[in-house]
Amino acid sequence: TEDKGQNTEDRMQEYIVIKGAREHNLKNIDATIPRDKITVITGPSGSGKSSLAMDTIYAEGQRRYVESLSAYARQFLEQMQKPEVDYIEGLSPAIAIDQKTVTRSPRSTVGTITEIYNYMRVLYTRIGIPYCYQCGSIITTQDLHNIIRAILSLPSGTRVQVLAPIVKGRKGEYKKELQQMRMDGFVRARIDGEMIDLTQDISLKKQQRHTIEIVIDRFIIKHSIERQIKQAIDTSLKYADTVVINLLDENRDILFSRTLACSKCGISYPEIEPMLFSFNSKYGACPRCNGIGFENLIEKGHLFFSPQPSIIEEELTHMTPCKECNGMRLRKEALSIKLHNVSIGEFAAMSVRDAEKFIHDLKFSEREMIISKRIIKEVKDRLSFLDKVGLGYLTLNRPSLTLSGGEAQRIRLATQIGSSLTGVLYVLDEPSIGLHPRDCEKLFKSLTHIRDAGNTVIIVEHDEETIRNADYIIDMGPGAGKNGGWIISASAPVDIINNTASITGKYLGGYLTIPVPKKRRKPEKFLKIIGASEFNLKNISVSIPLGVFVCVTGVSGSGKSTLIFEILYKAISRHIYKSKLIPGRYKKIEGIENIDKVICIDQSPLGRTPRSNPATYTGILGIIRELFSQLPDSRIRGYKPSRFSFNVAGGRCEACQGDGLKKIEMHFLPDAYVTCDVCKGKRYNKETLDIYYKGKNISDVLEMPISEALEFFSAIPPLKQRLDILEDIGMGYLKLGQSATTLSGGEAQRLRLSKELGKKATGNTLYILDEPTTGLHFVDIQRLLNVINKLVDMGNSVIIIEHDLDIIKSADYIIDLGPEGGDNGGKIVATGTPEDVAKNKESYTGRYLDKKL
Ligand code: ADP
Ligand code: ADP
Ligand code: ZN
């Protein structure tokens, strides 16, 4: 009860007040965040935005929530450590919507994660009409409940008469039926002309004749107990205007066995219940593919329901639908239940936009309307949100594993909208990722709806428009890592512009800008893709200039990744490296001879092991180990470079095998990690740690931020060269030994980029990058542009898929796809220099670009 009092108090507060936040690089800072407002936390990459938003505010909100649960529930939840903070007041239950969490189940789809599919299962159960999959006639039912459902779906005015024996003495069962009908809320019943209360026990006397009328809507169903009625009249629900349903005594077993059967061909049907439409259950799933929908996944052994097998992305390309269910995932009985002639499988195959139209056009009877109103509203809300945030092109049966991080994040947001909560704290991590400026605008509008419903929204974001539109801005900085962790400015957007200490303010105020290049490079050679037609691409042909910086633009779902990754990258890899990747459909690619290397730099994690870090990944640690083994002390003791590796025995701490951490297995509780008590987290044994270079041992070096290491190793050319690149690209704040598992997708991508930059360039290399601005602040974007230009000036070609207008305006050449996402996209809308595209009235990108030039 004490907790509850605290919560009510918290809820009444106007602010979330944070005192003494010290997580990661935060400098014991205080912050005040207005509740029921949209606050954007911005600042350079590595300045501490996520440390404040996610690792402090969200973590504490979550932890308090978990603490309020029973001990029993708690043991199943991840134990969250208390963040480094003195206290936080005014917190609400917190929901974080980031880009990382993906379920790896092959049965997770856009429809299931948004719950749209689950609601549709209930809708199909309630008002779907069963057809026989063999002869096509409507299934008649021997089940009272289902009879009534079938009758109610008839055109109004149809006269229906049901002849049936009352079930003598089995009042319990009879009552069950009645109650089920009553649940729909339309049933009135009379026994022998008298109204009865359906919540009461109905006592029917044995041997006595009763006449029972069940009145549902405008139909009257008469149960007559005339036991002598022998006439069994076949039903033809579809065409007859009087329907007589035979429920004679000899059919009584069927009456309560709740089975359905086709009256023409006699095929029996399972009971219609939501489970029948679930491809996650044995009851509903297609018997061939067990609900996964694809032949190749069957072959790869993903057939079982439990434990949920996880799937790898590569298995999800070039999939062929299951031969039995045609990719619809369900058994044929489930697929033969239709709503306005559409099965649930066909519904799921629709794009969000088409599904919206389908639901909108559904015509309901009054009764149907009442029992489906809530479901329809939930489905509509979610569909319209998905469409509003630029995901109208996604099909509901799209496997969630094939979604990009940004798409998945917006989908989780749609799920939240549907739940229409109030008093919640939403923490979002860069929701603009993958969004065209046009869709960013829409997303922001949706966030304002969430706010107006009485929720607090905190967004970690770099997108200029989002920052400008926020109610409140917290600007972190000034630098990254050790040089960040302070709040530079906390104010309404108008005020940050006047704060001379804030770099963000300077960019917003236009005092600092990323300049538009004076000249665009002129290409001489081209790659030409002819007849690209994978997914939504409309048999397009496009020339991609080489030796310049090309941006591929277009709204989300327009076909950018399909053209550049699925087709171009895979085809070139096959050609140059004889790789086994299978490209998407195209006719021909000309000009491949002009390049001799293709490098794709995406945002997938560097590794899932904590042993991988910037130093190991970029090869810097190898050089440092070599350096340490050359030191006089090492030579005397005969230490080789491997002595300084934490991956092999010799120099590492054997107590933790170089992890620095020890796993404690807790019975019934998740494993806990504690710092190794032998090496105190330093990963090496004492002898190794006795070797010093300029006063630092190998563990000290791994703890150094890259900027510091750059100074420290400035005399060692191969190290300086590699560290320079990392610094140039804005990664100076990362510690050399920071575990790869703590890096964001954007950071991982920039590390990959720097590794490539460190290699000898051939001058004929094609670099392909996907949204490298992820996680980048204005300052960092300038740095990234410098790196790109360096690559291009060496003669290489760079193709970037990007939404950031500062990057797009800096390109030499733009290929704009669209006009929309999904089926309404897949065409080339505009090509040419940014100036050319800005003039094109058809291009959404052009419209936004125009303001930037
Ligand atoms: P931002 O969100 O502004 O990009 P972060 O809050 O992610 O910045 O990072 C701030 C600093 O904290 C950086 O120096 C980063 O390297 C460090 N950091 C982030 N996560 C961790 C972690 N799990 N362990 C150690 N240091 C971390
Ligand atoms: P963009 O990169 O411009 O956001 P994509 O190339 O990812 O667009 O998508 C273009 C179209 O292809 C969209 O309609 C999308 O839903 C569809 N698509 C992309 N990947 C897949 C996939 N693995 N399975 C089915 N459809 C896909
Ligand atoms: Zn140890």
Question: CA 333, CA 149: separation in Å to the nearest integer?
Answer: 17
The answer to which of 115-129, 703-717, 733-747, 798-812 has the lowest mean pLDDT is: 733-747
Q: Are 437 and 468 in contact (CB under 8 A)?
A: no
The per-residue pLDDT of the chain, averaged, comes to: 81
pLDDT for the residue numbered 69:
64
Residue 418, pLDDT > 80, answer no
Question: CA 64, CA 800: separation in Å to the nearest integer?
Answer: 43
Residue 432, SS3 per DSSP: coil
Question: What average pLDDT score do residues 126-150 get?
Answer: 69
pLDDT for the residue numbered 663:
73
pTM of the model: 0.79
Residue 385, pLDDT > 60, answer yes
Question: CA 335, CA 324: separation in Å to the nearest integer?
Answer: 12
196 vs 644, higher pLDDT: 644
Q: Report cis status (omega within 30 of 0) of the bond before 34.
A: no
Domain boundaries, the chain: 2-100+419-508, 110-123+275-402, 129-271, 526-605+762-850, 614-742
> How many Å lie between the centroid of ligand 1 and the Cα of residue 32?
21
- C-alpha closest to that of 812 among 827, 793, 825, 839: 793
**CB distance 561 to ligand 2 below 6 Å:** yes
pLDDT in tens, 763-784: 899 999 988 888 888 888 888 8
- Sequence-ordered list of residues with C-beta below 8 angstroms from that of 198, at least 6 positions apart, any chain: 178, 179, 181, 182, 187, 189
Asked, colleague to colleague, whether 2-100+419-508 and 614-742 share their fold, the answer is: no
Residue 26, pLDDT > 90, answer yes
Question: CA 229, CA 211: separation in Å to the nearest integer?
Answer: 14
Residue of 320, 561, 568 to mutate, ligand 2, most atoms within 8 A of C-beta: 561
CA distances from 823 to 190, 379, 391 (A): 55, 22, 12
User: In the chain, pLDDT over 90 holds for what percent of residues?
Assistant: 48
Question: CA 851, CA 842: separation in Å to the nearest integer?
Answer: 16
Residue 487, pLDDT > 90, answer yes
Count of residues making up the chain: 853
Residue 161, pLDDT > 60, answer no
pLDDT in tens, 278-330: 998 888 999 998 898 888 777 766 666 654 455 555 566 677 899 999 999 99
> How many Å lie between the centroid of ligand 2 and the Cα of residue 276?
30
> How many Å lie between the centroid of ligand 3 and the Cα of residue 662?
7
At residue 662, what are phi and psi to the nearest 5 degrees?
-125, 135
pLDDT for the residue numbered 155:
45
63 vs 825, higher pLDDT: 825
Residue 464, pLDDT > 50, answer yes
> What ipTM does this complex have?
0.93
The helix (run of H) or strand (run of E) holding residue 733 is none
59 vs 161, higher pLDDT: 59
Give the number of the atom of ligand 2 that is nearest the alpha carbon of residue 402.
23
> How many Å lie between the centroid of ligand 1 and the Cα of residue 48?
6
Question: What average pLDDT score do residues 368-378 get?
Answer: 86
The pair of structure tokens assigned to 696 is 């630092």
pLDDT for the residue numbered 420:
64
pLDDT for the residue numbered 170:
36
Could you tell me the pLDDT band of residue 529, with boundaries at 50, 70 and 90?
very high
pLDDT for the residue numbered 104:
66
Residue of minimum CA distance from atom 22 in ligand 2: 402
pLDDT for the residue numbered 677:
87
The pair of structure tokens assigned to 574 is 């096959």
H-only helix segments in 419-502:
437-452, 464-469, 493-496
pLDDT for the residue numbered 302:
64
Residue 534, pLDDT > 50, answer yes
The pair of structure tokens assigned to 469 is 């539109």
The helix (run of H) or strand (run of E) holding residue 385 is helix 366-386
pLDDT for the residue numbered 315:
62
**CB distance 562 to ligand 2 below 6 Å:** yes
Residue of minimum CA distance from atom 1 in ligand 2: 557
Residue type, 299: E
The pair of structure tokens assigned to 648 is 């092999």
> How many Å lie between the centroid of ligand 3 and the Cα of residue 697?
16
The helix (run of H) or strand (run of E) holding residue 720 is helix 717-728
- Ordered DSSP codes for 148-186: HHHHHTSPTT-EEEEE----TT-HHHHHHHHHHHHHTT-
Residue 171, pLDDT > 70, answer no
pLDDT in tens, 201-242: 444 444 444 454 444 332 333 333 222 222 222 222 422 233
The answer to which of 34-43, 204-213, 341-350, 452-461 has the lowest mean pLDDT is: 204-213
Question: What average pLDDT score do residues 700-711 get?
Answer: 95
Question: CA 278, CA 345: separation in Å to the nearest integer?
Answer: 10
Task: Assign a CATH topology to domain 526-605+762-850.
Answer: Rossmann fold (3.40.50)
**CB distance 393 to ligand 2 below 6 Å:** yes
pLDDT for the residue numbered 199:
44
Residue 186, pLDDT > 60, answer no
- C-alpha closest to that of 108 among 300, 309, 273: 309
pLDDT for the residue numbered 164:
38
Residue 224, SS3 per DSSP: strand
Residue 91, pLDDT > 50, answer yes
Angle at 279 between CA 277 and CA 282, to 5 degrees: 95
Q: Where are the beta strands (DSSP E) in 239-384?
A: 242-246, 260-261, 268-269, 337-339, 342-343
pLDDT for the residue numbered 407:
83
Could you tell me the pLDDT band of residue 598, with boundaries at 50, 70 and 90?
very high
Task: Assign a CATH topology to domain 110-123+275-402.
Answer: ABC transporter ATPase like fold (1.20.1580)
**For ligand 1, which residues put their CB under 6 angstroms from it?**
24-25, 43, 45-51, 476, 481, 733-734, 738, 742, 775
Q: What is the CATH number of domain 2-100+419-508?
A: 3.40.50.300
Angle at 759 between CA 754 and CA 763, to 5 degrees: 105
The pair of structure tokens assigned to 370 is 């009442």
Question: CA 420, CA 835: separation in Å to the nearest integer?
Answer: 44
Residue 331, pLDDT > 60, answer yes
Task: Assign a CATH topology to domain 614-742.
Answer: ABC transporter ATPase like fold (1.20.1580)
Residue 650, SS3 per DSSP: coil
pLDDT for the residue numbered 72:
58
Question: What average pLDDT score do residues 544-573 get?
Answer: 95
Question: What average pLDDT score do residues 546-555 get?
Answer: 96
Range with the largest mean pLDDT of 421-430, 548-557, 601-610: 548-557
By the CB criterion, residues less than 5 angstroms from ion ligand 3 are: 653, 655-656, 676, 678-679
Residue 245, pLDDT > 50, answer no
Question: What average pLDDT score do residues 411-422 get?
Answer: 73
